[in-house]
Amino acid sequence: MTTDPILYSFRRCPYAMRARLALLVSGTTCALREVKLSAKPADMLEASPKGTVPVLVLPDCTVIDQSLDIMRWALERRDPENWLAREDTALIAANDGPFKHDLDRYKYPERHGTDAAVHRSNGLVFLRQLEERLNDNDQLCGPTRGLTDMAIMPFIRQFAATDPDWFAAQPIPRLQRWLDAHLASPLFTKTMRRLPPWQPGDDPIRFAEADC
Ligand SMILES: N[C@@H](CCC(=O)N[C@@H](CS)C(=O)NCC(=O)O)C(=O)O
């Protein structure tokens, strides 16, 4: 029986990545349950019937099932790098709304019946906006990483990985450096630990800074 919160997560999901980043930096220990999206565990669906990851279930059975809420919950408990001071809600909303819309239609044109090139161009407008932000500072809201960087970075990673050669050829050098540095960071590396899908009865897998 664990008294740690339980995190239902999917390694490659950008929403789950941002939650894991905040949980780790805040030093919050969780029991990590890797989910197969095609076979979601009944326990997760019971906690959060909408069926998306990440889902955090607290020891008192409170359920937090929006990635940004998980980030804020973790950082409100402990925020050693002061991430909450660097939250740009409008920029994150632009990422989660129009940019994510274009990302999906660029990455999976066959699924959406879309023209990938159109959605890649639309997405590039947002990438240029980020590039401009990085003119003034190394990170999106100041000189050091904060909630905005870590909320957005997993989505830029996915956009970049769709066609790495195309991404590398764009005139967005600050954004390319920003992404590379985050991908190489020990924090990100730790959040990307590979786990088999969780099954009821499995021993809890501790997800904590010290164990990664
Ligand atoms: N608004 C949610 C979105 C989470 C979300 O859409 N996650 C995707 C995975 S990246 C998911 O679980 N999709 C359900 C599915 O594919 O069945 C959040 O911020 O947590």
- Ligand 1: nearest atom to the Cα of 35: 12
Q: Does domain 6-82+189-209 have CATH number 3.40.50.410?
A: no
Taking the centre of ligand 1 as the mean of its atom positions, its distance from the CA of residue 201, in whole angstroms, is 25
10 touches 18 (CB < 8 A):
no
Of 52, 89, 104, 157, the residue with max ligand 1 atoms within 8 A of its CB, to mutate for a pocket test, comes to: 52
Which residues are registered as beta bridge partners of 139? 142
3 state DSSP class of 87: coil
Taking the centre of ligand 1 as the mean of its atom positions, its distance from the CA of residue 52, in whole angstroms, is 4
Tokens (6 digits) for 201: 């009865």
DSSP-derived letter for residue 210 is: G
Amino acid in position 180? D
Taking the centre of ligand 1 as the mean of its atom positions, its distance from the CA of residue 205, in whole angstroms, is 22
Taking the centre of ligand 1 as the mean of its atom positions, its distance from the CA of residue 136, in whole angstroms, is 33
Helical packing angle, 116-136 and 100-107, nearest 10°: 140
The reply to whether domains 6-82+189-209 and 84-188 share a CATH topology is no
**Calpha distance 120→163 (Å, rounded):** 10
**Calpha distance 36→119 (Å, rounded):** 28
What's residue 208's pLDDT?
86
Taking the centre of ligand 1 as the mean of its atom positions, its distance from the CA of residue 7, in whole angstroms, is 14
DSSP-derived letter for residue 98 is: I
Domain ranges (residues) in the chain: 6-82+189-209, 84-188
Question: What lines the ligand 1 site, CB under 6 Å?
Answer: 10, 13, 15, 37, 51-54, 66-67
- CATH class, domain 84-188, is mainly alpha
Instruction: Compute and round to an integer the Cα radius of gyration of the chain.
Output: 17
Q: Tell me: the pLDDT tens digits for 46-80? A: 999 999 999 999 999 999 999 999 999 999 999 99
Tell me how crowded residue 151 is: count the other CB atoms within 10 A of its CB: 28
Instruction: With CA atoms as reference, report the closest residue to 37 among 51, 16, 20, 47.
Output: 51
**Calpha distance 64→158 (Å, rounded):** 24
pTM: 0.97
Handedness of CA 74, 80, 85, 89 (dihedral sign): negative
Instruction: With CA atoms as reference, report the closest residue to 47 among 75, 28, 70, 17.
Output: 70
**pLDDT digit of tens for each residue in the chain (212 aa)?**
558 999 999 999 999 999 999 999 999 999 999 999 999 999 999 999 999 999 999 999 999 999 999 999 999 999 999 999 999 999 999 999 999 999 999 999 999 999 999 999 999 999 999 999 999 999 999 999 999 999 999 999 999 999 999 999 999 999 999 999 999 999 999 999 999 999 999 999 999 876 76
Of 53, 67, 92, 107, the residue with max ligand 1 atoms within 8 A of its CB, to mutate for a pocket test, comes to: 53
Going by alpha carbons, the residue nearest to atom 14 of ligand 1 is 52
Q: What is the mean pLDDT of the chain?
A: 96
**Calpha distance 149→60 (Å, rounded):** 30
